[in-house]
């Protein structure tokens, strides 16, 4: 496991490296804000799981297509991976190298920072509150999965996806990329598609989930959906 973690730490660094490489500007301050945010989120979460919940950490390394993953989810995961790659690449090309987008005012960048702060909270708390937070849409019979309804799961039914949406939309606001924001919207739609499919499975197979939906009414955004 320690070897996997070290390799993961190195892999995580590729994303900010790609950001600066494509931007052609190693002193881009907004990108440094995102880089510090991204590395802290990933490293803190992984080390927390290593110390507090190694079973979930092992689950996070599960390969797609295993553990009775829903077949349709393979396509969604592939779309998310491809979309994330486009998202992380288009922002520096747009905002810095080619300047396709106009310079964003400071107040919009502050909104982006605030969204990233919220994203950090929902990402981390989702892992801390739910030991069954698999990267795959599957019922974890092998781990005796049961319903989790406390912590951030008492706020919305899919808080990790809320963290994802805040990241996908907040980052391009910080970096100043209209095309990155459009890519973030596409990724957010993919997360919504995944939520709909995942809830069909949970209503069918996870005991107590139907009653949980009555208690926590909103899937992703309070008072909206």
**How many CB atoms within 10 Å of residue 24?**
12
Residues 6 or more apart in contact with residue 70 via CB below 8 angstroms: 136, 137, 138, 197, 198, 201
- Amino acid 193: pLDDT: 96
Q: What domains sit in the chain, N to C, each tagged with a CATH number?
A: 2-215 (1.20.120.1630)
- Amino acid 95: pLDDT: 96
Distance CA 63, CA 88 (A): 23
Separation of CA 36 from chain center? 16
Number of H helices, E strands in the chain: 9, 0
**How many CB atoms within 10 Å of residue 60?**
18
On the CB side of 74, CA atoms within 13 Å amount to 9
Please state whether the predicted TM-score (pTM) of the whole model is above 0.85: yes
- Amino acid 119: pLDDT: 98
Eight-state DSSP code of residue 63: P
Closest CA to 117 of 169, 160, 166: 166
Closest CA to 161 of 188, 140, 199: 188
- Amino acid 139: pLDDT: 94
**How many CB atoms within 10 Å of residue 210?**
11
- Amino acid 67: pLDDT: 86
Which residue ranges of the chain lie beneath pLDDT 70? none
- Amino acid 175: pLDDT: 98
First-to-last C-alpha distance (Å) of the chain = 38
């Amino acid at each position: 496991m320690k070897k996997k973690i070290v390799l993961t730490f190195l892999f995580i660094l590729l994303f900010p490296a790609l950001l600066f490489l494509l931007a052609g500007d190693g002193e881009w301050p907004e990108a440094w804000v995102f880089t510090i945010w991204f590395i802290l989120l990933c490293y803190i979460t992984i080390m927390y799981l290593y110390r507090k919940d190694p079973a979930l950490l092992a689950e996070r390394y599960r390969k797609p297509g295993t553990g009775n993953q829903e077949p349709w989810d393979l396509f969604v995961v592939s779309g998310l991976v491809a979309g994330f790659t486009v998202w992380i690449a288009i922002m520096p090309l747009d905002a810095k190298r080619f300047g396709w987008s106009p310079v964003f005012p400071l107040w919009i960048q502050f909104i982006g920072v605030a969204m990233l702060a919220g994203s950090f909270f929902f990402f981390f708390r989702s892992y801390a509150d739910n030991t069954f937070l698999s990267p795959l849409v599957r019922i974890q019979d092998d781990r005796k999965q049961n319903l989790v309804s406390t912590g951030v799961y008492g706020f919305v039914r899919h808080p990790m996806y809320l963290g994802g949406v805040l990241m996908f939309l907040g980052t391009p606001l910080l970096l100043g990329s209209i095309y990155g924001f459009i890519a973030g919207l596409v990724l957010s739609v993919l997360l919504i598609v995944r939520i709909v499919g995942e809830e069909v499975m949970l209503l069918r197979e996870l005991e107590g989930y139907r009653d949980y939906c009555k208690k926590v009414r909103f899937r992703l955004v309070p008072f909206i959906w």
